[in-house]
């Protein structure tokens, strides 16, 4: 019986020792999710860079750009859209600041506002598409315009889905906190990426 007691004690000690080893190993395990997001955005950035270079190449070899007869792009609506998207970067950062203070309500508020701003941007872009006086196959400028802005629009839509996903998860008590908020940071970093790409597109297509 004494041997049984000793065996039980050893088993108990080994069990707790195993837990401690696992906890230590888990603590030493690096979180590569942020690195994954960075690698993903670098890959996406390379795709956009290729599209930018193609556009600039077309522009440099064309005698006139845009080609003659191409209706001039209006600046008012795209300008408003640009202001909205840039402002949304500051808004979504407020959400990150809020969750780092364990302010879940603040997270929901600022992410909700960001989602609304992203939806307004997409609506504005669709409105512009429906009122443009040229189509996808009108000329080379028109084709590159739709490809660049459309591809970016898809990224905005994906970013909007990420934000809504974070909002949905935030409804679960204690899902996000000051020590566990990767989803919030990932959505914010992606949204900043989308904003920077749009600023470049706006300058290339509407200003230069």
* 36-48 residue pLDDT tens: 888 999 999 999 9
Token pair of 47 as six digits: 């795709």
Average pLDDT (175-187) is: 90
Q: Which CATH number fits domain 31-207: 1.10.357.10, 3.40.50.300, 1.10.3470.10, 1.20.120.80?
A: 1.20.120.80
* 147-178 residue pLDDT tens: 999 999 999 999 999 999 999 999 998 889 88
**Measured between alpha carbons, how far is 144 from 21 in angstroms, rounded to an integer?**
57
Task: State the average pLDDT for the chain.
Answer: 87
Task: Give this prediction's pTM.
Answer: 0.83
* Inter-CA distances, 112 with 63, 107, 108, 115, 186, Å: 47, 8, 6, 5, 16
Longest dimension (CA), the chain: 99
174 class by beta-carbon count within 10 Å (0-12 exposed, 13-18 middle, 19+ buried): exposed
Token pair of 109 as six digits: 């508020």
Question: Is the pLDDT at 8 greater than 60, yes or no?
Answer: no
* 74-110 residue pLDDT tens: 999 999 999 999 999 999 999 999 999 999 999 999 9
Average pLDDT (9-13) is: 46
Confidence of residue 16 (pLDDT cuts 50, 70, 90): very low
């Amino acid at each position: 019986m004494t041997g049984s007691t000793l065996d039980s004690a050893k088993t108990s000690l080994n069990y707790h020792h195993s837990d401690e080893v696992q906890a230590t190993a888990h603590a030493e395990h690096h979180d590569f999710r942020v690195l994954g997001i960075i690698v993903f955005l670098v890959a996406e950035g390379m795709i956009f860079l290729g599209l930018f270079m193609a556009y600039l190449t077309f522009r440099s070899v064309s005698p006139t750009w845009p080609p003659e007869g191409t209706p001039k792009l209006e600046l008012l609506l795209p300008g408003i859209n640009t202001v909205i998207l840039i402002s949304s970067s500051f808004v979504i950062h407020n959400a990150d600041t809020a969750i780092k203070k364990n302010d879940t309500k603040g997270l929901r508020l600022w992410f909700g506002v960001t989602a609304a701003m992203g939806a307004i941007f997409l609506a504005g872009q669709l409105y512009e598409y429906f009122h443009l006086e040229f189509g996808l196959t009108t000329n080379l400028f028109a084709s590159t315009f739709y490809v660049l802005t459309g591809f970016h629009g898809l990224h905005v839509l994906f970013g909007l889905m990420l934000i809504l996903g974070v909002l949905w998860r935030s409804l679960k008590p204690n899902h996000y906190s000051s020590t566990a908020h990767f989803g919030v940071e990932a959505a914010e970093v992606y949204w900043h990426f989308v904003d920077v790409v749009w600023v470049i597109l706006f300058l290339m297509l509407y200003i230069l």
